[in-house]
């Protein structure tokens, strides 16, 4: 077992959501240090108190650097790692041109293992310690990601992507094989170490009613799992859905009809929602995941963060690799700020950090495990250098408070701002 450790610096934890609290001070607590023991946070508080309680523990002093919860990416496609930043088209064209040909390769276990390791390396370098990922239809793709994450002691949510229509030959399963493969993977991996399984229909246009019904039945049998899929990403996608599901009241109804809507449902994008959909999503406590770099890169639209938050929705943040154009949650926070500005909402730095940590963890129902720095939480954390480049340093030097100092790193920071990353207490970057 690794030795107890004390990290000193500016340790930020959340006492409440900055969206709900009456000001930043009520939501965010600023500490001097945290203690790590057996892969978990043992205590957070003053450096003097922590060193007095653990006189044998070594102290690593990060000075004025910021110690935060590790970033949580609530919606990604690790099999799209190698095609990130491919020249953009509309969603369906992008899937057919780039995504589906690449995903065809993941039936080969060796290739899946190579990309899984590369993805976890790239995301860790950007400060991401937990993610929810879609795999491909191949069980090998799920095995590769879970095996790599387990070896690193990393918390990951993922599942086999299910598609039995409107996809190329070789990327289609069936209603029965989707159920059988998902059930086998779920039984093998769910709850093992830090692995969670998510039942994963890609989106309703690529699943027949029979497949959606089978996956709804599987979820009913395993209600402690999450269910992740896509919702209302583009207007032409919604029109296509109505052609395929003519009896559906709206896009959400194409899932609800088959038992795929309740608390634990995680819907990526959710841009073009109808009033009934908003009401129903909030009523059941489903999660919405904002994917700003993807939404702008593929031209999908502008997520209504201000309106949906004010209405009480559960919302997280995500890169949507590789439709999203960056592995970095810093870049994703910057894009979320810009999108919100276009919708008339100015997100505060504390709100952006919360979305990328506790907000995303809450969307994945992991808020009791990751996404905050508090005693008993898993010791996943990132240390930010707030002067990582000359441009950022010169702006931060003029800051009159912490938030003015951290905002330039959110807007201009990249992997150079990531001074250290720990997963389950172990240093990985």
The secondary structure of 14-59 as a DSSP string is ESS-TTTSSSHHHHEEEEEEEEEETTEEEEEE-HHHHHHH-TTS-E
* Residue 188 in this model has a pLDDT that exceeds 80: yes
Q: What is the pLDDT of residue 429?
A: 87
- How many independent structural domains does the chain possess? 2
| pLDDT tens per residue across span 41-96 | 999 999 999 999 999 999 999 999 999 999 999 999 999 999 998 886 776 787 88
Q: Residues 83, 163: one domain?
A: yes
Q: Residues 150, 177: one domain?
A: yes
CB-based contacts of 211: which residues, under 8 Å, 6+ apart? 162, 164, 173, 174, 175, 178, 201
**Domain around 26:** 5-70+372-427
* Residue 311 in this model has a pLDDT that exceeds 70: yes
Q: Residues 95, 213: one domain?
A: yes
CATH number for the domain harbouring residue 18: 2.30.40.10
Average pLDDT over residues 253-282: 98
Q: Residues 39, 127: one domain?
A: no
Judged by DSSP in three states, 78 sits in helix
Q: Residues 25, 165: one domain?
A: no
CATH number for the domain harbouring residue 227: 3.20.20.140
Which domain-ending residue is among 339, 363, 387?
Answer: 363
Paired sense of beta strands 195-201 and 161-162, if any: parallel
Partner residues linked to 13 by β-bridges: 29
Q: Residues 54, 131: one domain?
A: no
CA distance 422 to 2: 13
Separation in Å, CA 74 to CA 221, 246, 267, 387, 419: 24, 31, 10, 27, 23
| pLDDT tens per residue across span 319-346 | 999 888 999 999 999 999 999 999 999 9
Q: Residues 122, 227: one domain?
A: yes
* Residue 21 in this model has a pLDDT that exceeds 80: no
Q: What is the pLDDT of residue 25?
A: 72
Q: Residues 341, 383: one domain?
A: no
Q: What is the pLDDT of residue 86?
A: 81
Which domain-ending residue is among 329, 363, 397?
Answer: 363
* Average model confidence (pLDDT) across the chain: 96
CB-based contacts of 256: which residues, under 8 Å, 6+ apart? 280
Q: Residues 110, 134: one domain?
A: yes
Q: What is the pLDDT of residue 313?
A: 98
Q: What is the pLDDT of residue 88?
A: 66
* Residue 369 in this model has a pLDDT that exceeds 60: yes
pTM of the model: 0.97
Q: Residues 311, 382: one domain?
A: no
Q: Residues 348, 318: one domain?
A: yes
Which domain-ending residue is among 346, 363, 380?
Answer: 363
> Please, what is the Cα angle at 200 between 211 and 104, to 5 degrees?
90
| pLDDT tens per residue across span 120-135 | 999 999 999 999 999 9
Q: What is the pLDDT of residue 367?
A: 98
Q: Residues 303, 391: one domain?
A: no
Q: What is the pLDDT of residue 280?
A: 98
Q: What is the pLDDT of residue 371?
A: 98
């Amino acid at each position: 077992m690794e030795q107890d450790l004390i990290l000193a610096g500016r340790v930020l934890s959340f006492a409440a959501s900055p969206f709900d609290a009456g000001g930043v001070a009520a939501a965010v607590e600023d500490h001097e240090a945290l203690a790590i023991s057996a892969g978990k946070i043992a205590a957070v508080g003053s450096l003097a108190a922590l060193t007095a309680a653990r006189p044998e523990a070594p102290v690593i002093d990060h000075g004025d650097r910021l110690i935060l919860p590790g970033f949580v990416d609530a919606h990604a496609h690790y099999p799209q790692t190698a095609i990130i930043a491919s020249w953009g088209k509309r969603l369906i064209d992008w899937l057919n041109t780039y995504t589906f040909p690449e995903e065809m390769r993941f039936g080969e276990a060796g290739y899946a293992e190579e990309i899984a390791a590369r993805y976890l390396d790239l995301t860790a370098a950007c400060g991401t310690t937990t993610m929810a990922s879609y795999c491909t239809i191949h069980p090998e793709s799920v095995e590769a990601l879970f095996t790599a994450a387990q070896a690193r002691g990393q918390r990951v949510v993922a599942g086999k992507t299910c598609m039995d229509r409107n996809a190329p030959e070789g990327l289609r399963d069936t209603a029965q094989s989707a159920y059988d493969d998902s059930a086998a993977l779920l039984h093998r991996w769910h709850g093992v170490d830090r692995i969670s399984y998510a039942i994963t229909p890609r989106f309703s246009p690529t699943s027949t009613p029979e497949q959606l019904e089978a996956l709804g039945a599987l979820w009913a049998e395993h209600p402690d799992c999450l269910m992740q899929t896509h919702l209302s990403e583009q207007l032409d996608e919604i029109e296509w859905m109505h052609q395929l599901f003519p009896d559906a009241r709206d896009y959400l109804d194409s899932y609800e009809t088959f038992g795929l809507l309740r608390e634990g449902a995680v819907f990526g994008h959710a841009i073009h929602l109808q009033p009934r959909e908003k009401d129903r999503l909030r009523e059941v406590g489903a999660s919405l995941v904002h994917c700003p770099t993807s939404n702008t890169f593929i031209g999908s639209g502008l997520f209504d963060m201000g309106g949906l938050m004010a209405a009480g929705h559960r919302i997280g943040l995500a890169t949507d690799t590789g439709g999203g154009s960056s592995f970095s949650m810093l870049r994703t926070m910057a894009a979320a700020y810009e999108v919100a500005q276009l919708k008339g909402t100015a997100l505060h730095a504390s709100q952006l950090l919360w979305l990328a940590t506790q907000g995303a963890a809450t969307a994945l129902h992991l808020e009791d495990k990751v996404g905050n720095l508090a005693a008993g939480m898993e010791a996943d954390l990132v240390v930010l250098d707030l002067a990582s480049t000359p441009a950022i340093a010169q702006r931060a030097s003029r800051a009159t408070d912490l938030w003015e100092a951290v905002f330039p790193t959110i807007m201009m920071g990249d992997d150079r701002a990531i001074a250290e990353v720990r997963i389950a207490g172990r240093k990985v970057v």
